[in-house]
Amino acid sequence: DGEPLKSNKVLLDAPCSGLGVLSKRVDLWWNRNLEDMEQLKSLQDELLDAAST
């Protein structure tokens, strides 16, 4: 009928930094930098915006 779908909640499985597992994945210390985190944050923001509209 062309009407947009409405919902009260949206579940988004956005990519994460993996920083919560640093104690188990020491290699992440060396493979992450500020630029990576900024790009990841931008992607997460875009996905949240898309999921909420």
Known binding positions for S-adenosyl-L-methionine: 1, 13
40 close to 17: Cβ distance less than 8 angstroms = yes
Short-list 16, 2, 14, 3, CA closest to 51:
14
Annotated binding site: 1, 13
**Can you read off the two tokens belonging to residue 4?**
């947009």
